[in-house]
């Protein structure tokens, strides 16, 4: 579940969490960054202006800007003030886990608001011509969930496939789901089927934060497994499966369905980089990049931005560099 909170560094706990040198060597470190690196659940895009924008959980959707993808500056928040309907879901108007994309001449920003620990949740959408913080116009609710539902309407991620617009979403409450969106409004098609993409065998079904990209003839579902939001005690890790259909079924490289707990491990905590997750994928000059947060074990578990090149094997599976 996605609430930005930090845990103090406990030396004894840290010793048990840090992997061995051999384990750490299996995963690359994020590329070196400078400036304002504090971030949670990042979504990154290269704007038409050439600059990079990263939006995230924290503040009224926290904003970071960069000219070179290396040095990042704090740019305030996406919104100047919370839309009033956010307070239907929590007392602080606290939004989570944004997703940015570009289509039809506008930038589209999806995000979630929720009551902590429940699936009384909603996904909202806003648009902007420039994609810059302070320029977003909110358009209200895209999809909602209530305590009577078996899914949780948070962690949106939008993708296009077969001439249609789709949104993956979900956290715990039986995992990852997907609905079709109306391209004109950006909101869920009335009466749309809620497809089931991934879950875990046992409660609390700890899989969330989906992100789907197409590579070759496959759609790849990236998701965060296990626990976030506990500083150096976080166990977040990124797993992936693929399907020839946007609505699944998704399987890992062994053929295990993601609906049965499958998923190839793409990136896990190592060294100082604990709890890697909250991921998204973006393109830059034709290359794929993985954006995520990690909790810095050398900085009291502060969540920071991780960026790694994403490449593809001959068999068509992603790998971080």
Active centre residues (catalytic): 41, 208
Two tokens, residue 157: 């991620």
CA 247 to chain centre: 18
Calpha distance 135→128 (Å, rounded): 6
Q: Is 91 exposed, middle or buried (0-12, 13-18, 19+ CB in 10 A)?
A: exposed
Polymer length of the chain: 321
Instruction: Give the contacts of 107 (CB within 8 A, at least 6 positions apart).
Output: 45, 47, 100, 101, 127, 128, 129, 130, 131
Q: Phi and psi (nearest 5°) for 15?
A: -60, -35
Q: Report the candidate in 79, 26, 99 with the shortest Cα–Cα distance to residue 291.
A: 99
CA distance 306 to 321: 12
């Amino acid at each position: 579940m996605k609430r930005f909170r930090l845990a103090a560094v406990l030396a004894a706990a840290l010793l048990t969490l840090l992997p061995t040198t051999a384990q750490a060597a299996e995963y690359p470190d994020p590329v070196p960054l400078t400036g304002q690196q504090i971030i949670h659940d990042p979504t990154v895009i290269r704007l038409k202006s050439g600059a990079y924008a990263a939006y995230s959980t924290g503040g009224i959707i926290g904003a970071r800007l960069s000219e070179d993808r290396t040095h990042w500056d704090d740019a305030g928040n996406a919104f100047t003030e919370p839309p009033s309907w956010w307070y239907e879901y929590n007392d602080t108007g606290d939004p989570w886990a944004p997703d940015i994309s570009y289509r039809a001449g506008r930038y589209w920003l999806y995000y979630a608001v929720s009551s902590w620990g429940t699936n009384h949740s909603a996904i909202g959408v806003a648009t902007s011509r420039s994609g810059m913080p302070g320029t977003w116009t909110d358009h209200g609710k895209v999809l909602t969930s209530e305590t009577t539902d078996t899914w949780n309407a948070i962690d949106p991620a939008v993708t296009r496939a077969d001439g249609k617009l789709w949104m993956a979403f979900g956290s715990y409450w039986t995992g990852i789901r997907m609905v079709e969106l109306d391209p004109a409004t950006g909101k869920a098609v009335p009466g749309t089927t809620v497809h089931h993409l991934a879950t875990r065998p046992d409660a609390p079904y700890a899989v969330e934060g989906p992100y789907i990209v197409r590579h070759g003839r496959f759609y790849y579902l990236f998701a965060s497994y296990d626990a976030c939001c506990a500083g150096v005690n976080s166990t977040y890790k990124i797993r992936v499966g693929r399907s020839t259909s946007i609505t699944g079924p998704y399987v890992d490289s062994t053929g295990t369905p993601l609906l049965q707990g499958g998923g190839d491990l793409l990136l896990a905590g190592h060294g100082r980089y604990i709890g890697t997750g909250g991921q998204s994928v973006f393109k830059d000059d034709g290359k794929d990049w993985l954006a995520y947060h990690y909790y810095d074990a050398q900085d009291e578990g502060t969540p920071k931005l991780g960026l790694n090149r994403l490449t593809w094997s001959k068999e068509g599976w992603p790998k971080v560099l």
